[in-house]
Structure 1
């Protein structure tokens, strides 16, 4: 169970019942997804009847809101103590907390979308508080660092710390902590140069494809990313394209076909980039650098598809889910292979953990609107990813 909170014997009334429920909720939500967990499952996990849950929480959404805060609170408390702290000790403490609460990135990035408006606003405030605390720490470590650079480094540290939520790779605990701490330190020490901020211009009207099928896909993807696949109906997609809901079926057999196609295209684009990099690169380091550039470009151009890979995969039928996960695994494997060609002595698991951290920095910054809209961020993110992968400057 998350945080290793023991389940009491049935019939007992422990003082920490609320904490036990929250720990069980974190465990079940991250393993199975919020929608697949019933209040009866939570009750069974802590050895009580379902009605007893309502003495502590008003309903499942209230459990989720409190579970997210339960997970984030230790991180907020730690970040609140960073002013003037030793950078190495800080990196070690952040790494230890990350591995203690490894579920946290998954909980806030995948499950928290089901929170109501007020609870979701509270979550955003907590995440911003984390980012602000880490930005202050970055400026204390590097006096003179400007605000935009400190902000990017702070969000990149958060991405590194969240990345273990999305894989099951493990090293011996001391070694794993040292690696995460090293990655945090690498981000904070990276020299990045951002061009002067440019005021945003007037938004241009979007171009509409000639194909109605393509238009519907283009409408559906951001809606799925913003609201969740389950909450978007065919009527919503049709209305966005100016047609009736049933007319969508003239172009797409089912709503699920839209999601499957979006994810397949994303995977195919990345696979083609791998093939191109191998074909034209002058060596392993050059190929890996080309993959960094293409991945940053893809994620900053199509951030919604990268969000769907985190939040909506469980809606796929089993055969499509297997193919999507296999494509993800193979893509990471190519990065890891190239990294180990440049660093043959690097442990295979450690190399893969580094790759996941770099990928997380790339797609998390792309999914953070104020970063994605800053025109200088993409090149800086490439620099950060290259440092995490120990690539020489190029």
Structure 2
């Protein structure tokens, strides 16, 4: 009698389900994946899947928890010092590259108590990482060590935003170099950025403008599907149905809000990035402008990352093409400064920089305190040094 006929589950089935769910959630987004599709990916029936996981939220929570557990195991394997830490974290980051996306985009859709539990787990991983890093940099202030470690984990988490993959050995070596450069940053020597260097945005003077601003914040904080038109209307002082006087559908409001986000990002960053000076100076100016934009517009960047998949197909294509074009400009400029970088390395480094900046402005230290530090850490992720402007 076979194991299946006897009713016994194949070994490792739960792990197979988690791996399949992690991949599907990562590629398509949590809301666009059904439990039946996860079951089909594994080759089992939906009722069989429910023997392992009672609900889709539980499946998402376990996928995120599994990634955090892998990071914790890697940190403990690298406990002998910063060099060993990066060597252990690099393969874990590659093997669980979906974790960054699941954390930033999908985990916020879980019930509040589960989100809080996951945040506690992440803080524990950061604390263990900081304890290891402190052995190699004993004189560094604890707050600086914390920010450096969060930036390291964010940079590695940026792997989930792309599919670039050099050969495995070269990939791990690249991540080790990026990690070592980040851990070595002396934040005491970081530049000081004045608050709000970009042009201030005028306060919304129409209901439509107010809805755009409010939609970005609420969609980023709670997710498109978790925000009703009644809540959107109440936030700007109108009844829910009145939202439709300004936008035909909630999806149309999301699309307009993300268009506004892209316009503001382009307006503030493209000029410095495409300056007429030397490539190194233009790259430095673009990085400072991006950090400054992120400090004042974390909701805009967060919504662009988390809600693009909720757009209608035509709007999604436009948003994805903007993101690709924006990335290509950074990559091309970085390769002018670092001609030895191949396409994959340059793109991985740019994504690492975006990830640590986007996460860093929402970190516990507060956006107003970390601008210069994020510029220094961003330069390290890009592989720049003092001679690069």
**Superposition TM-score, scaled by structure 1 size:** 0.89
Residues 207-246 of structure 1: pairs in structure 2 closer than 5 A: 208-246=203-241
TM-aligned CA deviation for residue 12 of structure 1: 6.8
Residues 1-394 of structure 1: pairs in structure 2 closer than 5 A: 13-83=9-79, 85-193=80-188, 208-277=203-272, 280-368=275-363, 370-373=364-367, 375-393=368-386, 394=389
Indicate the larger mover: 9-18 or 170-179: 9-18
Question: Equivalent residue of 2:365, what SS?
Answer: helix
Q: Deviations over 1:252-278 (max 9, x none)?
A: 333223221222222223333454225
Distance in 2 (CA, whole Å) between partners of 1:389 and 1:49 is 46
Distance in 2 (CA, whole Å) between partners of 1:105 and 1:9 is 36
Provide the residue aligned with 2:195 in structure 1: none
Provide the residue aligned with 2:198 in structure 1: none
Q: Quick one: structure 1 residues 384 and 213, their matched pair in 2 at CA, closer, same or farther if it must change by over 3 Å?
A: same
TM-aligned CA deviation for residue 226 of structure 1: 0.9
Q: Quick one: structure 1 residues 174 and 39, their matched pair in 2 at CA, closer, same or farther if it must change by over 3 Å?
A: same
Across the two proteins, how many residue pairs are aligned to each other?
374
Q: Quick one: structure 1 residues 301 and 278, their matched pair in 2 at CA, closer, same or farther if it must change by over 3 Å?
A: closer
Contact persistence 2:81–2:132 (CA under 8 A): no
Distance in 2 (CA, whole Å) between partners of 1:223 and 1:230 is 11
Contact persistence 1:332–1:355 (CA under 8 A): yes
Q: Deviations over 1:90-139 (max 9, x none)?
A: 21111111111111111222221222222222211111111112222221
TM-aligned CA deviation for residue 213 of structure 1: 1.6
Q: Deviations over 1:56-96 (max 9, x none)?
A: 2222222222222122212112223444x142222111111
- The one of the two structures with greater contact order (alpha-carbon pairs below 8 A, sep at least 6) is 2
Distance in 1 (CA, whole Å) between partners of 2:97 and 2:35 is 23
Give RMSD over aligned pairs: 2.3
Indicate the larger mover: 13-22 or 94-103: 13-22
| Structure 2 gaps, min length 5 | 191-200
Question: Equivalent residue of 1:210, what SS?
Answer: coil
Question: Equivalent residue of 1:56, what SS?
Answer: coil
Q: Quick one: structure 1 residues 136 and 49, their matched pair in 2 at CA, closer, same or farther if it must change by over 3 Å?
A: same
Contact persistence 1:307–1:367 (CA under 8 A): no
Q: Quick one: structure 1 residues 323 and 365, their matched pair in 2 at CA, closer, same or farther if it must change by over 3 Å?
A: same
Question: Equivalent residue of 1:298, what SS?
Answer: helix
| Structure 1 gaps, min length 5 | 1-7, 196-205
TM-aligned CA deviation for residue 34 of structure 1: 1.7
Q: Deviations over 1:154-203 (max 9, x none)?
A: 110011110111001111111111111111111100111289xxxxxxxx
Distance in 2 (CA, whole Å) between partners of 1:376 and 1:116 is 30
Contact persistence 2:20–2:41 (CA under 8 A): yes
